[in-house]
Every structure is written in C-alpha cells, then in structure tokens.
Structure 1
C-alpha cells in the first residue's frame, strides 16, 4: 500500500493496544503536531486509524492574580487601612484612606469597585466606612488565589474552588481558563494488517511552486490532499473596541440626520463648562468632590471679555424684565479655573457663542461624541470617564415635541422604540426631561440621557436670539440597551471582558 511519507510515519508510530496522543506522535515522528493531525484524519478516512477527541479544561493565575496571591487583593488592603483609620466607628475621608493604603493607579479603581460588593463597608460622598464584622480571611476570591497554580495550568476538576468564584476571578482578569482539544489515535485491524503487509512511501508535493509551473512538472506529480479540519495555531488580532464602533455608528446616524460634528478641548475653563450654562458657582456639582481640577496650569487667560461680563450679569441680575439671576457670589477667578470637562455641553457653549467657528446662523444642527470626566462612585452604570452624545438644534419656534421626535428618530436607528420621558430640572434648560429605555435582559428602566430647551439666561449672553434644543446622551447606556450588558465595566475599564470585546460586533 502506498501512502504519503507523513502518513506512513504516523501509522508506524501508532499502537493498536493503547491510544496515543497527537503530541506524543509528533515527538516520535519529528513532525509538527498539525501535520500529524492532518495525517491522522486522512488515515481515519482510509480505515487505518481510529481518532478520538476530548476537551481538557485547565486554569491558571494571570500575572496580576499571582501578584495579589503573594500580597493582598486591593479591596482587602483598602479595608485594613480603613480599619486602621477608625472607619469602623466613624466615616473617614476616602482620599486620606486611599493615600495611606499605598494603592496606586488602576488598583484604586479595583479596590473601590469591589469594596462594597464584598461587604467590607460603604463609600458615599467621598467618605468610607468599614464593617467591623467583615472577615478578609473568609474572602472566597482571596482564598482561591492561594489555591490556584501560578506557573502552570491545572485541570479545572482538580481545583477546589467554586465555579462562581472562578468566574469572578476570570472577569477580573486574575485567572485564565483554557480549553484544549486532545486527539488520540489507535490502530484499527485494517491498519495492523496493512503494516504487516508492508507500506510504501508515495512521493507527493505539498504546494505549487514557480518551478513546478514553469517546468510543466505539475502535470505529472501527485499533490497531497489539503485537510481543512486540521488544527491551526490561533492568532488574536487587534480589533476596534465596541465602544468606538458604536460611536462611529452614532456619528453616521447623526450626519445622516443633517448634523455637523463639533470639536473642542477635554480640559477647559469652568467658564465654558458651567458658567456659560447658567450654572451657579455654588452649585454642588461644581465642588472639588465632583470635578477633576488641574494642578498645573490652574487657570486660563484667554476668555472673551465682553462674554465674561455678559455671563456674570446673567448670573447676578438675570435676563429680561422679570429676570432675577441667582443673586449669589460670582468670582471671575473661579470661572477661569481649569478642569476636565464634566460634559460636552462646554463645546455647545463655545460654538453657540461663535468662539470656535464664528457666528452660526439658524437653522443649524451640531453634535459631538466625546469623552467626559466625573468624580462619580463606580458602579454598574457609572464610571469616572465615559462617552457623551452631545447635540443641539438651533431654529425658530422649537418645542418639546420637536425634541422628543428627534430622539424617537435617533433611537429607532438602533432598534430602540420604547423611549420614555420624565420631567426634570436643569439650571440651563426649561423645560427639561430625562430619557429612559428598557433594559432587554433585566426589564428595568435605564436612564440614557438628559435634555431640554436652553434657557434665555444661557442664550442671551451668548448672543443667540432663537430657540435651541439640546441633549446629552450616554453612549455606554445605549450599548446596554442594544446588547444587554448589565455592567459597563465589562466593556470599559480595567475589569473588561476581553473575550466579549473580541467576539461582539456592532450590527447595522
């Protein structure tokens, strides 16, 4: 019987008495495992070998997990520091406790996101408390890190760790589960018979070369069959993040609705971020607890003098015959303070004031899909930085119905048709309302945006004499409604699920 050289080698190395793995055959024949696999399948088709398969599941610690196994989980470290600060008796300042804990960079976010989840205490309004009855020694994730191997894969069945704990460690990127297909071969009776009768090696060609074509020899040689079922090495290539994919789709939809895109700085003066929006300077959202101020430089020099004067007048005295303003302190030095923008409405203020591209004549439509930064408490629907879909329309005689209709048309492009509205208060819009959508998995209403008609106290200082309706929508919340994500940290941040990001694509 004539067979290709690789098949002869595999057949001679196989046994009729016990199953032999592909890796063992590769070592015995000095052939690559993929070549052995291909030969085994071809011999199985000839009835000379029997091929069996099983899936082995193993788990091991990642480098980050191994590091915490040697030291402590960040949330445990934060809890112990909170106890030392007396947070079990009286709430302590969160910033002070974090500073004393020695946690840095991403570890701070990790500690904060897991602290309350595990019942170590609570974090609220910049203060932290510690539950004196919490027991770090009973922390299932910490104990699992000590039980799992760091340097080699261990069979999943041999690890004495609960499945829920393993899944949580995987989500946090502290452990990695691997599945591998193990193939084993056994000689059949026919295979033994053919071996005893003797085998001949058939000369075959594995690929077409320029020499074979130019010489004409390709017409006479025997080509080896190509096995599409043979194992191949897996490569994980780069991919556009699902948030960026969704952002690009949002841009396409808004451009299709007649909007133009705005651009502007991530770091801006409080004047553009809040003062131009008729946001009083003593508003709680403008304290150091809710904003990220810059250490250097601290202030901006370049502001339009007349606009600063007009905005200050609106704050102090109001606009129009019945306007009263806030009658509260207004400090130009505070208005010039630099901070990371808490919303992209700062871009709207810049454009409406004619500061970016000159005076804009109605009708006009503008939007942006950019990052904003807020000092929020981390939870399944809040992050310290996220994408905001900003937009506004300038035209005569706009109404709330126009605004609602715009949202219905926009969200319908993403298959969302159950938008609900609730009246709301904003310092810079009147009337105002929030938008809600139904989560496809939990059935709960999720807040997805805020909107309204800009107030005269905001528009008049900017020199705008007609109506402007505006909104700020959350890109991550849109993604939750589209794909059923329950925790935005699964797709954005240090705890994101890489497999989910690799396999999920935005559909049109």
Structure 2
C-alpha cells in the first residue's frame, strides 16, 4: 500500500493498545498539529485509524476579576457604603456614597449598572437607597469568583458563570481533544509494509510552467474535517449600522455635519431655548468640565439675541421665561447631552457661514447623559441628528421623512406621540415595535423648531428636526433586547462577532 508521507508518519506514531492525542502524534511524526489532524481524518476514512474526540472546558479569571477577588465586586462595595451611610433607612446623595465606597473610574459605572439589577437598592434623581433585606453574602457571582480563585470552579452555579462571562470577568475556553488508535486493518497494513507515495498538496506556478502538474499525484483533502476556529476582525455592529444610516440619509439628499463633543452650554442648551433653570441642566444630569471650566467668548450679537429670547420672548405675543439668564453659565463647558448643538452651530452660520434654504443636514455622533443604566439607556449613546430647512414645512413632511427613512430598514410599524420640547412646536416622540418582545419602544424625538429658537439664529424659514437613537434602531433591526450587550462594560463579544444586521 502506498500512502502520503504525512499519513505514513501518523500511522507509525499511533498505537493499537492506547489512545494517543493528536498533539503527541504530531510531535512524534514531526508534523504540524493541523497536518497531523488532516492525515488522521484521512486514515480514519480509510479505516486504518479510529479518531475519537472529547471536549474539555477551562475557566480563567481576568485581571479585572482578580482585583475583585481582593477588593470585592463594585456593587457590593457600593451597597456596603450605602448601608453605612444610612441608605437602608432613607435615600442618600449618590456622590456621598460613591466617595465613601472608594470606587473610581469605570468601577463606578460597573457598580451602578449592577446595583439595581441585583436588587441591592434603587438609584433615582441622584440619590441612592439600599434594601435592608438584601444579602450580599448570598451573591452568586461573588461566591463563584471566590470558588474559581480557590480552584473549586466546578462547584460554581452555571448561571453565575454565565453572568461572570457576560461581564468579562472570566474567560471560558472549550478545547476539542482528538485522540487516535490503530484499527486491526491499520495494524495489518503496517505489518505488510507501507510505502511512501510522493504526493503534492498544492499546485505551484513552476508546476504549471513546466507541465509537471500532469504527472504528479495530488493529496486528497477531507473538506468535512473540523478546522481550527478563526475569529477575524470585523467592524463593530453599531459602526456597521451607522454606515448604513449614512448611506440611507445621503441617498435622501442629506449632507453630514460634525462638531465638538465638549461645547459651551450656550450651544448645547441656550440656543435651543432651554431655560437655564431647567432640571435637565443641573449638575446631576450633565457632565460638566473642571479644566477648562468655560469658553472665553461667545458671538456677541448672537448671545444678546438668545438672552433676549429667553427673557422677553420673540414676536408681539412672545413672553420668554422671565427666569434668570447668566452669561457665565452659558459659557460653561460640558459634554453635549445631544447633538442638536451641531444643528444650532450650523443654523447660526457659526459652522459653515450663512445657509440659504433648502438645506438638509445630519450627523451620527455621541451624546452623553447621566441616565440610569438599563436595557435601553447608557451614559453615552449615538444620536442620529437631522434637520431640514425649507419654506412652508409641515408635520406631514416630518412624518413622511421618517416613514421613508425607516422603510429602508424594513421598519414600517412606527407611531407618533405628541410631546413637549422647549425648542419645537409641534413636537412628537417616535415609537417602533420591537421584533422579539412586541413592545413599542421609544426610538426618537422630533418637531418643528420654534420661532424663539430660530429668530435669534437669524433663520426666517421653517426647520424641522429630529434626534433618533442609533442603538434603538439597532435593536429594532436585529432584535437585540439589551443595549448593554452591544457596547459598554457588559458587552457580549460573541454577539458582536456573530450578529448580522439585516433589514
């Protein structure tokens, strides 16, 4: 019998009396493991070897998990600090509890995202409460971490391991171990003697040029044999969705705008006719900067016009807010809570100079809000900002634009709900039906800009605008039920690797 050199080497390294792993066979035969594996499957098909497989699992703690083994899970440290501060009796300011817990940086976000999820208490309007009935000693994730650290991970509950895996605290690997044993036919052929056949694994340019390919013997390939899993790099699923949104809006005649993530409150809120004493502008809801604290200058004429609109209103029937308006507050710097600050910069002429109607602009950029973390909220998110400047725009134009946009993603079940915004009238919230849960979830906010916003910016025609959540669109298009699976500290890497965005 003639066999390729790799198969001969594997046969000679195998035994009829014991199972030998492919790695051991490869080392003895001086072959790469993948070459030995391929040869073993080919010999198995020929009945000369028997290949058996078993799966082994291994769990390792990440560096982050090892820190938690020493110091405790962030949510447990937060709970202990909350109880010490008396939050089990009355709500306590969250900043006080976070300071007492010693948590900092990402650990704060992690603690907040898991605190309510585990039932340790509630976080509302900057205050934290602690459930006196909660039992931190019964925390399954903490128990599983300790067990893994002590080498007793086999006793950890499967659900706890799954939660730790979702949090990126453990690395679970499953390895398929293949072993081979000589069959009776394999022993017989070895005893009879096996010759090495000269075979070729692939065609080369030299073979084609010389004509040698016509006389050589090619090795057979088992295309059904298992191959090593390769996880290639790919674009983040949200980035893919953002690019599809860009294609859709550019196809509808829009052009893209960009602007600063850190901006003056003047552009973020004041230009939007948002009163300075509005609850959304307090220090609990915005991310203000310490260094630098404020911008040096604002466009003088524009700042005066915006202040006048706030104090006195616009037009003969305008009244304004009759509330405090402070130039220093308008100059204060913060992370933008929405990308409508870009719209204000463009409409005022600050970004590109004066714009003549008709105009269509959009952006897909990050916004930052101090929201309570849940399945549909994170501290940062991508907003699809858009606006149209033209004469005689109506609500029908606004609704028609949304209908055309969402139909490009296969989303036809959308609803409009009247809403209040300081800067638009009329205003509408948009809702879309989740394909898995069937519930209507909020996907955006929209309206026609009010004269109190447009007049100070020097715009004398209609402007309809909207802010849509890219993550919510992603949920409707893919069926994802928890945005924390897509990005954030609890991101599901397998979801990102395998999810296909279809519409």
**Structure-2 separation of matches of 1:47 and 1:265:** 68
Equivalent position of 2:239 in the other structure: 244
Residue 99 (structure 1) shift: 1.9
Residue 205 (structure 1) shift: 4.0
TM-score of the two chains, using structure 1 as the length reference: 0.94
- What does residue range 357-506 of structure 1 map to in structure 2 within 5 Å? 357-506=352-501
Residue 483 (structure 1) shift: 0.9
- What does residue range 132-151 of structure 1 map to in structure 2 within 5 Å? 132-148=132-148
Residue 379 (structure 1) shift: 1.2
Residue 493 of structure 1 aligns to a residue whose secondary structure is coil
Equivalent position of 1:109 in the other structure: 109
The question of whether the paired residues in 1 share the 8 Å contact of 2:2 and 2:194 is answered with yes
**Structure-1 separation of matches of 2:227 and 2:66:** 30
Q: Deviations over 1:256-293 (max 9, x none)?
A: 11111111111111111111111111100011111111
- Which sections of structure 2, spanning at least 5 residues, go unmatched? none
Equivalent position of 2:33 in the other structure: 33
Residue 323 (structure 1) shift: 0.9
Residue 288 of structure 2 aligns to a residue whose secondary structure is coil
The question of whether the paired residues in 2 share the 8 Å contact of 1:60 and 1:150 is answered with no
**Structure-2 separation of matches of 1:150 and 1:225:** 49
**Structure-1 separation of matches of 2:290 and 2:64:** 31
Equivalent position of 2:272 in the other structure: 277
The question of whether the paired residues in 1 share the 8 Å contact of 2:477 and 2:502 is answered with no
**Structure-1 separation of matches of 2:160 and 2:219:** 49
**Structure-2 separation of matches of 1:105 and 1:42:** 55
**Structure-2 separation of matches of 1:406 and 1:209:** 57
Stretch of structure 1 that moved more, 44-53 or 480-489 = 44-53
For residue 302 of structure 2, the aligned residue among 304, 307, 310 is: 307
Equivalent position of 2:219 in the other structure: 224
For residue 318 of structure 1, the aligned residue among 313, 319, 328 is: 313
The question of whether the paired residues in 2 share the 8 Å contact of 1:269 and 1:337 is answered with yes
Residue 220 (structure 1) shift: 4.6
**Structure-2 separation of matches of 1:289 and 1:396:** 39
1:260 matches 2:255: yes
Residue 324 of structure 1 aligns to a residue whose secondary structure is coil
- Provide the alpha-carbon RMSD of the alignment: 2.0
Q: Deviations over 1:229-276 (max 9, x none)?
A: 455544433221111111111111111111111111111111111111
**Structure-1 separation of matches of 2:425 and 2:3:** 83
Residue 148 of structure 1 aligns to a residue whose secondary structure is helix
- What does residue range 66-81 of structure 1 map to in structure 2 within 5 Å? 66-81=66-81
**Structure-1 separation of matches of 2:338 and 2:194:** 76
Q: Deviations over 1:191-241 (max 9, x none)?
A: 121122122233334455666666665555444334444555444332211
Residues paired across the two proteins, number: 503
Q: Deviations over 1:377-428 (max 9, x none)?
A: 1111111111001111111111111111111111111110000111110001
Q: Deviations over 1:65-88 (max 9, x none)?
A: 233223311111111122222222
Q: Deviations over 1:141-180 (max 9, x none)?
A: 10011222588xx9xxx82222222211111111222222
- What does residue range 14-33 of structure 1 map to in structure 2 within 5 Å? 14-33=14-33
Residue 505 of structure 1 aligns to a residue whose secondary structure is coil
Equivalent position of 2:330 in the other structure: 335
Residue 452 of structure 2 aligns to a residue whose secondary structure is helix
**Structure-1 separation of matches of 2:117 and 2:294:** 39
The question of whether the paired residues in 1 share the 8 Å contact of 2:478 and 2:502 is answered with no
**Structure-2 separation of matches of 1:294 and 1:196:** 81
Stretch of structure 1 that moved more, 228-237 or 1-10 = 228-237
Cα 1:441/1:209, change in 2 over 3 Å: closer
Equivalent position of 2:345 in the other structure: 350
The question of whether the paired residues in 2 share the 8 Å contact of 1:61 and 1:150 is answered with no
The question of whether the paired residues in 2 share the 8 Å contact of 1:432 and 1:452 is answered with yes
**Structure-2 separation of matches of 1:209 and 1:391:** 55
1:163 matches 2:172: no
- What does residue range 190-209 of structure 1 map to in structure 2 within 5 Å? 190-208=185-203
- Which sections of structure 1, spanning at least 5 residues, go unmatched? none
Q: Deviations over 1:33-53 (max 9, x none)?
A: 212111111112222122233
**Structure-1 separation of matches of 2:429 and 2:400:** 14
Equivalent position of 2:174 in the other structure: 179
Cα 1:402/1:217, change in 2 over 3 Å: closer
